[in-house]
Amino acid sequence: MEKISFIKMSGAGNDFIVINKDIYPKLDFNNIAVKKLCGRRNGIGADGLITIAGSVGQYDFIMNYYNSDGSTGSLCGNGARCAVRFADYYGITQNKSVKFLSNNVEYSGDILSEDLTRVNFNPPAIMKLKLDIQAAGQSIKCSFIDTGSPHVVININDVLKDPADKISFYNDLNSFPVLQIGREIRYLNDFSPRGTNVNFIKVLDKKVFIRTYERGVENETLSCGTGSVASALVAKYLYDLTPPVSLLTRGGDYLTVNFKLDGNEISDLSLSGPAKITYTGEFLYNKFF
């Protein structure tokens, strides 16, 4: 049985299996194999799987990202930061500032220090503020932003614990039912057919506290990069936080989102935070494919 080497990485608690595609150019992942590998009981365990291939063209590398359910097609912000760190650490590129492709979209990133990696985002494809949706037996105010992945952002102070009690708003993010309400909103017809990720925030002391239900993982993750970017933009537009915006994730790490505004034009949008290698290993090809 052929052994496949992998790296396990963490981007602020968002964890990924990372494989150097240059070593295994013929290795093609299907959704069944990805599900098995990302399984936390019988597999390696991860929120997603990333392959990185060096590029001989204008890009330093090409990143392919798979959610833990095997689905593809969206940007993973923390995964992209891990990819930048991986490419630097393993010599796929000698550059500390890189250009790369993910889903045939161009991005760039930077190694800022041993502890900080940054990915630069394109302006949001869609941004709709102050929408009303029906969920949890009530009307909830939210915003919808596509930062490479679709995201709903909700302030928990706008959600009632008891829909019959009009002053029973949530105040404690730690006890908020992220899984229950997040899963319901993820599948609402309002966001079909793609579905959406759902971020729940609390703004306090000029910081954003955030928890995220991730589409494709179908569970809460310890952090979400694209969701943090979406939430930081909401924090600026609706709560007047000045960039750079600091967000405290469920895993206890801070992510920083920076950007410039010229009227309603967003530029220089970036996500910075920790991206580290947690361990290396091997798996047997025939056990997962």
Query: What does the pLDDT look like over 4-50, one tens digit per residue?
Result: 999 999 999 999 999 999 999 999 999 999 999 999 999 999 999 99
% of the chain at pLDDT higher than 90: 96
| Strand partners for 67 | 48
- Which one of 38, 82, 142, 224 is the catalytic residue? 224
Q: Which helix (H) or strand (E) holds 80?
A: helix 77-89
The active-site residue, picked from 38, 76, 82, 142, is: 76
Task: Read off the tokens for 195.
Answer: 């579905």
pLDDT at 143: 98
Question: Token pair of 125, please?
Answer: 């494809």
Mean pLDDT value of segment 197-217: 97
39, 126, 140, 165, 194 from 154: Cα distances, Å:
29, 16, 8, 19, 19
Q: Output phi, psi for 19, to 5 deg.
A: -125, 135
As a whole number of angstroms, the distance between CA 26 and CA 137 comes to: 50
Whole-angstrom distance, CA of residue 66 vs CA of residue 50: 6
pLDDT of residue 56: 74
Strands 117-121 and 105-111 come out as antiparallel
User: Given pLDDT bands bounded at 50, 70 and 90, which one contains residue 263?
Assistant: confident
Mean pLDDT of 104-126: 96
* Residue pair 230/145 in contact by the 8 Å Cβ criterion: yes
Q: Kindly state the average pLDDT of the residues 183-188.
A: 98
> Residue 234 above 70 pLDDT?
yes
| Residue 76 annotated to the active site | yes
Name the token pair of 158.
């706008």
pLDDT band (50, 70, 90) for residue 1: low
Q: How far apart are CA 187 and CA 247, in angstroms?
A: 26
Task: Find all residues with CB under 8 Å of 258, minimum gap 6, and list them.
Answer: 243, 244, 245, 268, 269, 270, 272
Structure token digits, residue 287: 């056990």
- Verify whether residue 82 is a known catalytic residue: no
Q: Name the residue ranges covered by the structural domains of the chain.
A: 3-116+276-288, 126-273
**Could you tell me which of 247, 253, 214 has the C-alpha nearest to residue 229?**
247
What is the per-residue burial (b if ≥16 Cβ within 10 Å, else e) of 7-34? bbbbbbbbbbbbbbbeeeeeeebeeebb
CA distance 100 to 85: 12
What's the DSSP call for residue 235?
H
Q: What H or E segment, with its residue span, contains residue 50?
A: strand 48-54
The superfamily CATH assigns to domain 126-273 is Diaminopimelate Epimerase; Chain A, domain 1 (3.10.310.10)
Cβ 101 vs Cβ 54: under 8 Å: no
Give the pLDDT band of residue 57 (cuts 50, 70, 90): confident
Residue 191's SS3 state is: helix
CA–CA gap between residue 286 and residue 3 (Å, rounded): 9
Under a CB-based contact definition with an 8 Å cutoff, are residues 230 and 147 in contact? yes
Pick the CATH number of 3-116+276-288 from 3.10.310.10, 3.40.50.1220, 3.40.50.720, 3.90.660.10: 3.10.310.10
